[in-house]
Structure 1
């Protein structure tokens, strides 16, 4: 018994230890999935001129206190020197430094690739390396090669001038919209230190502004709302996976009037819907603290009266009458069949077809055989419960 008890205790300790290890493994796995790093550039340009310098940072979101980490860097999926959070590229080269950069911490996920484009040119239109979404701020820079002087900077969108000649080499949009997608171009006049041989140079880039969330759609539950039902109206939209953490706010309208202002909830509930709740419903979605918003199409929601419609009542009445008529016909046919089953086959029974007297329609006929009855003989032992009739036949 003592050995058995000791074995049980040891087994329990082993099981608890194994469970603890499993929990820790799950915890580490979840932490590893939650700390996917992001590569950022400083300055924040995805394209640079040869000879420029840039610093790459491996940003690791974390909910735990900061602790020393070891980093690994990759270019085009190949390891490159560097075990610190920041990777410096000084005096960039076209052939050496262009490519997709990724970083990773020990036990963590590897980041998504970010492309650095090193170009050899006089003028370069610089843009951020990351994807541009509606509502994001956008800054473009008309950059020129070192050792030269640049003047008369201009910016164009789809060949339309959007910023006149200025000494400032940047163009800024506080909250970009999808309608502002297009081909952007900048021009500069470049000359050397001797102020001779001034020449114009330009560069262009296509800016594509992605949709932050899909156009919203109004959905109602239940599909047919009866007066007194709880009605749920939902503003259905989908965030872009790369911006899944974006906080959105929702507002609801009926016939153009606000029924619920902006809130983080995408549903509007009516606990007990009434007939006056019928109308054209729309919803609007917007990014928090942003002018970017999208309105859904209208959806007419009809609140139906809880009384039965007249057509339903009429159908029920007609159905009841049909049942009554059919039942009466069946009963009549059954009685008629039972009555004819007692008829003598030698006696022809008058029918409704050859009897034109309406008073005789319900007369029951029978056959009496009196051929064996003696003339003048009377029936004895009269029964008071029997009704007798005398048949006079002069031929007997």
Structure 2
């Protein structure tokens, strides 16, 4: 793990007992898998928060206490029995998170770091063979496609890892025993899953309905992975593709007095301070509404009302014509029973095509209902 990742991780792993800092186990060399007879040193790292004081250290494998009371635990000529989760503890303080070490008895292994692999990180993979053998040729593959071939370099270095680099990785070595002329080819594979450093950003706006002169707040919402503490992000905002706020630590764009020209499609971009990971949100259209009713809307409303009145009048006239032929005798008083279904007229008015304008207040709306009791009224 690079030093700056380690420092950030240590500072953010505060323990629960009196504010003590939780220790972190690191490996040297920094491989999560090794071959039997390999050597490895585990270190219990605790950043200093004041004057140095003598510390006592305890080491655990698979949650069982093992020998070793020093800050460093050395494993010389490892064996398969050394495989397990390693943790350390200082005094009576908090115990560290586990780090898994895998010791295998193979001719060749594909080595990778012990920690999770996140987008934006650099990554080194190594095709490692037993000490008694010499590697003649090393090849790396991803999803069965060759990535690198070398007679001298057993490592594959990727400066920046992206999410689409997840997949099945494989390395092959042509190895020869130092005391023999026989050459054989061996390989190892592992499935790499690149974790998301922070979620895809999303534009959120408040309030939902913004009128001219009102306050507008646009937020770029994203969620960093809590397992990777200390990820520092910067945010930028755009309207119709033009930058309205440069990159900064603020995830909010504010307009204290929104104007009609502030309407448009808004997007935001999030990137790490190292600029290794950048993500753009989907577009979100924000409409600033005019608080005044425009004359054009009033004319459209009047025309719409006239259309509704004319259609209603024609419908009533048709009903009267039909009822004149069906009813010969009419009472002069209003009926006391439900009307004959054959004497009731229904109509459907499609006003979806009428011009749409700002919403009007309730006291500006007038609705008239009419009931035809008989054909002579």
TM-score of Structure 1 vs Structure 2, range by shorter chain: 0.7 to 0.9
Q: What CA deviation, in whole Å up to 9, does each residue of 1:143-168 have, x standing for no partner? A: 00011111111111111000023310
Higher helix share goes to which structure?
Answer: 1
Name the structure 2 match of 1:47: 33
Question: Given the alignment of the two structures, is residue 37 of structure 1 paired with residue 23 of structure 2, yes or no?
Answer: yes
1:262-301 alignment to 2 at 5 Å? 262-301=247-286
Unaligned runs of 5+ in 1: 1-27, 323-396
Task: Decide whether aligned partners of structure 1 residues 169 and 314 sit closer, same or farther in structure 2, where only a CA change above 3 A counts.
Answer: closer
1:372-387 alignment to 2 at 5 Å? none
Runs of 4+ in 1 over 2 A off after TM superposition: 28-34, 61-68, 308-319
1:205-354 alignment to 2 at 5 Å? 205-308=190-293, 310=298, 312=359, 316-319=363-366
The question of whether the paired residues in 2 share the 8 Å contact of 1:32 and 1:107 is answered with: no
Q: What CA deviation, in whole Å up to 9, does each residue of 1:307-364 have, x standing for no partner? A: 2475655863454x98xxxxxxxxxxxxxxxxxxxxxxxxxxxxxxxxxxxxxxxxxx
CA distance in 1, matches of 2:55, 2:188: 41
- DSSP 3-state at the match of 1:179: helix
- Pairwise CA RMSD: 2.0
Name the structure 2 match of 1:75: 61
Q: What CA deviation, in whole Å up to 9, does each residue of 1:263-303 have, x standing for no partner? A: 11111111211111111111111111132111111111111
- Greater CA radius of gyration, 1 or 2? 1
CA distance in 1, matches of 2:292, 2:27: 67
Name the structure 1 match of 2:47: 61
- DSSP 3-state at the match of 2:261: helix
Name the structure 2 match of 1:19: none
The question of whether the paired residues in 2 share the 8 Å contact of 1:36 and 1:61 is answered with: no
Question: Given the alignment of the two structures, is residue 131 of structure 1 paired with residue 116 of structure 2, yes or no?
Answer: yes
The question of whether the paired residues in 2 share the 8 Å contact of 1:75 and 1:102 is answered with: yes
Unaligned runs of 5+ in 2: 1-13, 299-357, 369-377
CA distance in 2, matches of 1:64, 1:277: 52
Q: What CA deviation, in whole Å up to 9, does each residue of 1:183-216 have, x standing for no partner? A: 1111111112245221111111111100001111
The question of whether the paired residues in 2 share the 8 Å contact of 1:33 and 1:108 is answered with: no
CA distance in 2, matches of 1:188, 1:312: 73
CA distance in 2, matches of 1:119, 1:198: 21
TM-score (norm 2): 0.74
CA distance in 1, matches of 2:249, 2:359: 43
Which piece of structure 1 moves more, 61-70 or 197-206?
61-70
CA distance in 1, matches of 2:198, 2:157: 23
